[in-house]
């Protein structure tokens, strides 16, 4: 099993690498298109600001590589948001994989949302062994509204998408690598669930 974490200079990817290691797998960090294309699983991380992250993807040409990938791909947090069509953050054009647009929370609640919240309406093999209303760790100010591709939702003033899927592309708004045992189970499902095999 060859696992590649896309390294484009965005955020804390060490934690994802460590979480994968705790599950008994090894992951390599790479920004090399050939290496990414050859992997069995690709993880597309990201924290920070959408506009500057997208600029980094474009400067490396990875914005063309990622949408063409054929193996299971998991976008995490900002990674998932960048896989959408557009983000209100910095009025940024995304990779256009998911048919959704990212918008800012317009709630009286605290923004960013920081902490543990529940996921429900779980609809994917990604959540095998995960119970409805499980807690996950989230940190974000922008969100993806519910849409036809939503495979898990969360409530924060509004019910929104915390996980999304189209074909071989998966995205999670929460941080599986920081979501205790449940997060590790979701990550493990992504890495080893037979129904995700390419």
Partner 1 sequence: MLTKRIIPCLDIKDGRTVKGINFVDLRDAGDPVELAEIYAKSGADELVFLDITATEQKRKTLAEMVRSVAEKVNIPFTVGGGISSIEDVDILLKNGADKVSVNSSAVKRPELINELSAKFGSQCITVAIDAKQVNGEWLVHLVGGKVPTDINLFQWAKEVEERGAGEILFTSMNNDGTKAGFANEALAVLSSELKIPIIASGGAGKIQHFTDVFLKGKADAALAASVFHFKEIEIKDLKEELRRNGVEVRL
Q: What is the token pair recorded at 152?
A: 């898990």
Place of tokens 């474009």: 58
Q: What is the token pair recorded at 136?
A: 């996950």
User: 65 to each of 20, 47, 62, how far by Cα in Å?
Assistant: 23, 20, 5
Q: Which of residues 64-83 bind partner 1 (CB under 8 A)?
A: none
**86-87 and 169-172 beta bridge pairing:** unpaired
The minimum distance between CB 50 and partner 1, in angstroms, equals: 10
Q: Which of 2, 37, 86, 156 binds partner 1 (CB under 8 A)?
A: 156
Q: Which of 24, 51, 112, 129 binds partner 1 (CB under 8 A)?
A: 112
104 binds partner 1 (CB under 8 A): no
Q: Which of residues 23-52 bind partner 1 (CB under 8 A)?
A: 47-49
Composition of the chain by helix, strand, coil, percent to 5? 30, 30, 40
Which residue numbers are catalytic? 77, 175, 177
- Applying CB under 8 A, the residues found at the interface with partner 1 are 11-12, 14-15, 18-19, 21-22, 47-49, 109-118, 135, 137, 139-141, 155-156, 175, 177-181, 183-184
């Amino acid at each position: 099993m060859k696992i590649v974490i896309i390294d484009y200079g965005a955020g804390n990817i060490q934690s994802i690498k460590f979480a994968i290691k705790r599950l008994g797998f090894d992951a390599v960090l790479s920004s090399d298109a050939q290496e990414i294309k050859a992997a069995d699983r690709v993880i597309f991380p990201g924290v920070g600001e959408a506009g500057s992250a997208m600029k980094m993807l474009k400067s490396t040409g990875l914005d063309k590589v990622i949408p063409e990938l054929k193996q299971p791909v998991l976008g995490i947090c900002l990674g998932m948001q960048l896989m959408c069509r557009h983000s209100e953050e910095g009025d940024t054009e995304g990779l256009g994989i998911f048919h959704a647009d990212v918008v800012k929370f317009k709630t009286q609640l605290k923004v960013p949302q920081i902490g543990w919240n529940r996921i429900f309406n779980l609809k994917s093999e990604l959540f095998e062994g995960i119970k409805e209303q499980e807690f996950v760790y989230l940190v974000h100010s922008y969100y993806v509204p519910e849409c036809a591709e939503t495979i898990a939702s969360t409530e924060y003033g509004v019910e929104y998408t915390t996980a999304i899927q189209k074909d071989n592309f998966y995205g999670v708004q929460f941080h599986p690598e920081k979501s205790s045992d449940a997060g590790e189970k979701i990550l493990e499902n992504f890495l080893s669930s037979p129904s995700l095999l390419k």
